[in-house]
């Protein structure tokens, strides 16, 4: 641990003042997966098995293929000569933002009425189950609300008022006890900061500490793991850190367990679901999820039955690709993923805030999916289509004119 600390300190001093484009999918992917691989190689959890060279080759191959696909696109494609400048009526967007917050607040109140007090206020329902199925889609409009709110702030439109609206919305999230919306929100801040400027490595390191702090605090006040549970996990996982540094275990575990799970599952021959996993969120939103539910349930049962530690259930975005198409899905899927991310990144790189709301939102979803690629396949989540339709509606209602420039 002391050697690790010295190495980290040395790298921090060397790169602290340098700048990088954090929206570049190659940079983001390599940082995320490089960090995960690095943390796995450090013996923080002595019960974690070593990964065989063949499996390491697959993991490194996905990093290379993603980077290659993205590099080809970002090197060859430029859009300066077909520049489109979208001009929006910010006043209309502001009205829509207020309406969205009202809908979210109403959904929260209805949920409290149906289920009682939220977990943070002493409710008896587990935070993961604290939702009403037909109300939750309205509550999840908090995602396009935040996106549009941050857009207005980026455009310097009533910034203080919009910050106030964000604070109100964050109170709802904290009361409900969900961690993921906080991740979505922090990702938005990073995204909008990176749209038209390069970020200093030092600032990103400070932001990383903020994220870790938020994670630790949310785990402390929301999850409330008992000392007995923590001690049991320490023994089972073989936690190899001093007790005073126990707070870093959960954030690191979130990174490393995914690599453990997916490489362990490479030894299992599962029935291919041919896209049912990857597009499960879209099928759900379109109301045809029943067509693929049986395939998903079968594969998920196989996955959960082959976990080394039953409570560590995630397996990165590679889990979905492997369940759908096996090794071919893992490798070819990573290449295509890099190409798609590269195509949308080129528009952000060259046009910056002159992009349409639709392109900005799609690339943010891709950016967030890469940021969370170590953990899950975000593009397979429910609700993406609903929220995307909201952005399309806002784009249509608020667009004043489109001018072309060369």
Q: What is the pLDDT of residues 269-300, one digit of tens each?
A: 878 888 889 988 888 888 887 888 888 888 88
Looking at 48-141, list the stretches that DSSP marks H as alpha helix, in order from N- to C-terminal side.
53-76, 90-115, 136-139
What pLDDT, on the 0 to 100 scale, is given for residue 7? 47
What pLDDT, on the 0 to 100 scale, is given for residue 387? 94
Residue 318 pLDDT > 70, yes or no? yes
What pLDDT, on the 0 to 100 scale, is given for residue 15? 47
Residue 386 pLDDT > 80, yes or no? yes
Place of tokens 């455009």: 155
Q: What is the pLDDT of residues 46-69, one digit of tens each?
A: 889 899 999 999 999 999 999 999
Alpha-carbon span 93 to 90, nearest angstrom: 5
Mean pLDDT of all residues in 236-255: 79
Residue 301 pLDDT > 70, yes or no? yes
Q: How confident is the model at residue 251 (pLDDT cuts 50, 70, 90)?
A: confident
Of 295, 303, 218, nearest to 254 by C-alpha is 218
Contacts of 109 (CB under 8 A, 6+ apart): none
Of 158, 137, 139, 138, nearest to 93 by C-alpha is 158
Q: How confident is the model at residue 201 (pLDDT cuts 50, 70, 90)?
A: low
Q: How confident is the model at residue 239 (pLDDT cuts 50, 70, 90)?
A: confident
What pLDDT, on the 0 to 100 scale, is given for residue 401? 57
Contacts of 96 (CB under 8 A, 6+ apart): 148, 394, 397, 398
């Amino acid at each position: 641990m002391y050697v690790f600390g010295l190495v980290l300190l040395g790298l921090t001093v060397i790169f602290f003042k340098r700048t990088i484009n954090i929206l570049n999918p190659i940079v983001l992917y390599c940082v995320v997966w490089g960090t995960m691989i690095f943390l796995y190689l450090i013996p923080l959890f002595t019960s974690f098995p070593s990964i065989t060279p063949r499996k390491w080759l697959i993991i490194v191959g996905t990093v290379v293929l993603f980077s290659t696909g993205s590099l080809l696109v970002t090197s060859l494609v430029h859009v300066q000569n077909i520049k489109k400048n979208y001009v929006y009526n910010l006043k209309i967007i502001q009205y829509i933002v207020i309406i969205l917050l009202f809908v979210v607040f109403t959904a929260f109140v209805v949920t409290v009425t149906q289920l009682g007090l939220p977990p943070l206020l002493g409710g008896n329902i587990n935070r993961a189950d604290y939702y009403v199925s037909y109300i939750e889609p309205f509550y999840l409009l908090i995602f396009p609300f935040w996106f549009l709110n941050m857009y207005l702030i980026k455009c310097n439109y009533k910034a203080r008022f919009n910050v106030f609206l964000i604070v109100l919305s964050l109170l709802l999230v904290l009361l409900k006890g969900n961690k993921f919306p906080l991740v979505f929100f922090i990702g938005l801040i990073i995204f909008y900061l990176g749209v038209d400027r390069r970020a200093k490595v030092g600032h990103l390191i400070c932001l990383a500490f903020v994220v870790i702090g938020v994670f630790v605090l949310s785990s402390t006040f929301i999850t409330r793991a008992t000392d007995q549970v923590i001690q049991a996990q320490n023994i089972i996982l073989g936690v190899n850190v001093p007790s005073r540094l126990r707070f870093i275990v959960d954030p690191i575990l979130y990174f490393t367990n995914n690599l453990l799970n997916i490489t362990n599952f490479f030894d299992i021959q599962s029935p291919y679901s041919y896209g049912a996993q990857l597009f499960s969120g879209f099928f759900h939103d379109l109301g045809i999820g029943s067509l693929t539910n049986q395939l998903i349930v079968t594969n998920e049962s196989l996955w959960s039955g082959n976990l080394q530690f039953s409570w560590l259930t995630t397996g990165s975005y590679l889990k979905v690709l492997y369940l759908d198409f096996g090794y071919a899905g893992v490798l070819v899927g990573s290449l295509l993923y890099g190409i798609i991310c590269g195509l949308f990144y080129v528009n952000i790189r060259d046009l910056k805030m002159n992009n349409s709301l639709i392109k900005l939102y799609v690339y943010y979803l891709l950016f967030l999916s890469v940021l969370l690629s170590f953990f899950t396949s975000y593009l397979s989540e429910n609700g993406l289509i609903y929220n995307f339709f909201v952005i399309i509606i806002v784009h249509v209602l608020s667009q004043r004119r489109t001018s072309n420039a060369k």
